[in-house]
Chains A and B, each alone.
Chain A
Amino acid sequence: MSSIFSIICAKFFQFGYNFVPEPDLSFVNFTWIFKILFFVIIFGYIFFAFLLTFRVRILADTVNTPFNKVVRAYSVIHLVIALIGGILALAIILLA
């Protein structure tokens, strides 16, 4: 019995040998961390673009200048660019 225990102890303290099985973390790398991070950031960005469009609509009603129509058009164009660009960037990053 004591000989078995001594063998186990010897194996345990043997340099470069470990009895405790290590979890396989090979799938966790920088790319996946970046992907999750970008998913959150791009989602927040698209939400911000929507808020900006709504805010422009309210402010354009508050102060009405001849340039307001252009600003409203710009805000819609910006929203479209943000939506298409955001979804495209997200898709490419997630599939990369």
Chain B
Amino acid sequence: MATRVPKKILHGNQSFVQRISDTFDKSPVTTFIGFPQQTYFDGQNKGENIVLILRQHPVTYLPQMLFIIALIVIVVLLNFSWDTINSILGVNLAFIVGLNIFSIILIITTAFFSFIRWFYTVNIVTDERIVDLDFNNIMSHKYSEAQLERLEDVTHNVNKFLGLVFDFGTVVIQTAGSKPEFQFDNVPRPRDVQDTILDLLEMKQKGQI
């Protein structure tokens, strides 16, 4: 743990370090990583340490998963019933082959796009600021950040049935900046996220970081 956590944060003796210590050795492709190694973001200062990297809980991508399953089922059904389709619409076998190829690449693209959306919708907490990167759709993404000293209030809420079952929720951060509210949507362990941000804020106010 000592090798991962910077000395200035260890000296602060805050509870969050112990709370997130079980996530230190997690793979970079996960939802909750404490003190990630070899990870940087655009605009990171020299000596600035990333404390948390958060992504949405995979359960929030359930509709996309169901869509992919539905596409696979449609393709299988299409192959089993092409005789019937041929008799109704008068399409030939080559048309069905082309449709099959298109369906397969559509399934691959839907799965890949869902993964990319999940992977790059990321929230970062450092010892200087919070960063919110939202990849909403193919045409746009949004990158916002706020310095820790501008944070005013941190709350979390777990108000969905799936959030209750899988322990994820939304962390809402009020700031004094031009963007008054930051939202970390559907992040796992929202209590630990709130505790980490508040502890870092306290350390910042005391001048420890």
Contact = CB atoms under 8 A, between A and B. Distances in A.
A70 B110 CA distance: 18
Contact of A30 (B27, B36, B39, B90): B90
Nearest to A88: B101
Interface stretch (A1-9, A16-24, A77-85): A77-85
B102 interface: yes
Given A31-B90, A48-B109, A85-B102, A63 B116 contact: no
A41 B113 CA distance: 17
B108 interface: yes
A14 interface: no
Interface in A18-63: 29-31, 34, 38, 41-42, 45, 48-49, 51-52, 55-56, 58-59, 61-63
B140 to A, nearest CB: 9
Contacts, number: 117
Interface of A is mostly: helix
A71 B98 contact: no
Contacts of A90: 98
A67 B97 CA distance: 36
Given A31-B89, A82-B109, A51 B139 contact: yes
A81 B101 CA distance: 11
B141 to A, nearest CB: 7
A66 B28 contact: yes
Interface of B is mostly: mixed
A84 to B, nearest CB: 9
Nearest to B116: A56
Given A64-B40, A75-B116, A85-B105, A96 B95 contact: yes
Interface string B88-118: 0111101101110110111011001100100
Size bracket, chain B contacts: 35 or more
Contacts of B39: 63-66
Contacts of A92: 94-95, 97-98, 101
A89 B135 contact: no
Give 9 closest A-B pairs by Cβ, nearest first. Answer: A92-B98, A96-B94, A85-B105, A93-B98, A96-B95, A89-B102, A89-B101, A59-B120, A67-B28
Interface of A: 29-31, 34, 38, 41-42, 45, 48-49, 51-52, 55-56, 58-59, 61-67, 71, 74-75, 78, 81-82, 85-86, 88-93, 95-96
Given A63-B41, A85-B102, 13 more contacts: A34-B91, A38-B98, A52-B109, A52-B112, A59-B120, A59-B133, A59-B135, A59-B141, A62-B41, A67-B28, A85-B105, A92-B94, A96-B92
Interface of B: 27-29, 36-42, 53, 89-92, 94-95, 97-99, 101-102, 104-106, 108-109, 112-113, 116, 119-120, 122, 124, 133, 135, 138-139, 141, 143
